C-alpha cells in the first residue's frame, strides 16, 4: 500500500488521468491545485507522494503535475525491455502536457527528474517556462559525484544487480518491513537527514520496493549513462539550482558547475541538506520555488 490514511489526508484533492504514448505505454498522472502549471519530475522509482511537501506549498496558486514514470507505479510497461532512456521520459511528460492542453510549464526536477527536465529542454525548449534543478545533476551522476574508480564500481554493481534482481528486492522488502531500522541506518550514512519527513520517506521506500527490479535497474543504468552537459549552455529560461551541503550523490561541486554553465542561473545551497533535503528543510526550499514561480508567472 503506497498511501497511509495520514498521507491521503495530507495530499488533499487529487485529479487522476491517463495518457497513451506513441509506443503503447499508458502513463498515469496526478494533478493538484489550479493555476499556472508546475511539472514535478521525481527521483527514480518514486511516485507522487515524494513531492508532497512541495505540493502543500504550491497547490494554492498553481497546478502541480506529477506522473508515474514508465514502468513505475501504475504506468506499467507491456515490454520490460522497452525504452526507459531519459529522452523517452522527457517525451512522455511533453505528451502529458499536450493531453492537458498546457503550452508551457515550470519544470521542477528532483534527482533523476533534473535529467529528464534537461532532455525536455533539448526537445522543446519553448515548453519549459522555468527550470528548477533540485538535488540533481546534468548526467552521469556516479561519475560526476565520485572518483572514477568508485563511479565505475557503482555502475558495475547495478549491472550485477540487474542479473540478480532478487537481491535488490530483498533489501528493499527488508526496509519496508523494518522502516525504523532502515531509516536509522540510512540517516547514519547521510543518505537521508534525521530531520526528514518520515511519512514521505517511507512512502518513497514503498514506491521503489514495488517496482519491477529488472526495469528499475535498467532505468538506473540509463540514468548513469545519460549526459545532458551540452544542453546547459542552451538554457534560456529562469533557472534555479538547489543542492544540499551534505548531498553525496549530487554534490555542491556539480551543482555549481551547472549554475556556472547556465546563463543567469541562481544557485542555492541547503545547509546540512542531503539528497532528500526537499523533505528535510521543505520550508526553505519552498520559499525559493515560490520566488521562481512568481518571477515566471507574475503570481
Using alpha carbons, select from 86, 87, 82, 72 the residue that is nearest to residue 27: 72
Calpha distance 44→219 (Å, rounded): 8
Mean pLDDT over the full length of the chain: 94
Within a 10 A sphere around the Cβ of 70, how many other Cβ atoms? 23
Burial of 74 (0-12, 13-18, 19+ CB in 10 A): middle
DSSP 49: G
E strands in 21-116: 26-32, 37-41, 63-67, 105-110
pTM of the model: 0.95
pLDDT in tens, 99-108: 999 999 999 9
H or E element at residue 120: helix 112-123
H or E element at residue 60: none
Give the pairing type, strands 26-32 and 15-20. antiparallel
pLDDT confidence of residue 188 = 87
108: cell is 521542477
Long-range CB contacts (< 8 A, 24+ apart) of 10-13?
10/52, 10/56, 10/199, 11/48, 11/49, 11/52, 11/55, 12/55, 12/59
Calpha distance 181→274 (Å, rounded): 19
5-297 carries CATH number 3.40.50.1820: yes
pLDDT(124) > 90? yes
E strands in 102-198: 105-110, 128-134
Within a 10 A sphere around the Cβ of 180, how many other Cβ atoms? 9
The Cα diameter of the chain in Å comes to: 51
pLDDT confidence of residue 53 = 96
pLDDT confidence of residue 172 = 83
Q: Looking at residues 35-59, what average pLDDT do you find?
A: 96
Q: Which residue in this structure is represented by grid cell 488521468? A: 17
pLDDT(189) > 90? no
Number of residues that make up the chain: 299
pLDDT in tens, 136-184: 999 999 999 998 888 888 888 889 888 888 888 888 888 888 888 888 8
Using alpha carbons, select from 85, 43, 72 the residue that is nearest to residue 227: 85
Amino acid at each position: 500500500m503506497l498511501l497511509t490514511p495520514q498521507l491521503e489526508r495530507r495530499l488533499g484533492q487529487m485529479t487522476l488521468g491517463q495518457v497513451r504514448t506513441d509506443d503503447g505505454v499508458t502513463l498515469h498522472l496526478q494533478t493538484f491545485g489550479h493555476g499556472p502549471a508546475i511539472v514535478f519530475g521525481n527521483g527514480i522509482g518514486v511516485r507522487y507522494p515524494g513531492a508532497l511537501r512541495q505540493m502543500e506549498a504550491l497547490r494554492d496558486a498553481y497546478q502541480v503535475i506529477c506522473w508515474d514514470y514508465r514502468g513505475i507505479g501504475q504506468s506499467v510497461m507491456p515490454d520490460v525491455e522497452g525504452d526507459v532512456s531519459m529522452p523517452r521520459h522527457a517525451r512522455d511528460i511533453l505528451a502529458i502536457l499536450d493531453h492537458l492542453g498546457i503550452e508551457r510549464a515550470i519544470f521542477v526536477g528532483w534527482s533523476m527528474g533534473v535529467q529528464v527536465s534537461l532532455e525536455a529542454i533539448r526537445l522543446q525548449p519553448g515548453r519549459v517556462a522555468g527550470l528548477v534543478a533540485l538535488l540533481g545533476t546534468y548526467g552521469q551522476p556516479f561519475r560526476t559525484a565520485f572518483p572514477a574508480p568508485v563511479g565505475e564500481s557503482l555502475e558495475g554493481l547495478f549491472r550485477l544487480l540487474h542479473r540478480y534482481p532478487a537481491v535488490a528486492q530483498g533489501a528493499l522488502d527488508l526496509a519496508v518491513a523494518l522502516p525504523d531500522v532502515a531509516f536509522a541506518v540510512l540517516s547514519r550514512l547521510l543518505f537521508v537527514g534525521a530531520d526528514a519527513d518520515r511519512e514521505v520517506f517511507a512512502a518513497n521506500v514503498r514506491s521503489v520496493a514495488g517496482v519491477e527490479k529488472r526495469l528499475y535497474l535498467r532505468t538506473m543504468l540509463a540514468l548513469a549513462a545519460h549526459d545532458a552537459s551540452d544542453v546547459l549552455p542552451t538554457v534560456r529560461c529562469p533557472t534555479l539550482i538547489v543542492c544540499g551541503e551534505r548531498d553525496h550523490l549530487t554534490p555542491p561541486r556539480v551543482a555549481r558547475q551547472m549554475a556556472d554553465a547556465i546563463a543567469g542561473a541562481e544557485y542555492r545551497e541547503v545547509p546540512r541538506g542531503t539528497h532528500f533535503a526537499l523533505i528535510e528543510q521543505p520550508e526553505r526550499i519552498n520559499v525559493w520555488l515560490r520566488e521562481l514561480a512568481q518571477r515566471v508567472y507574475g503570481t
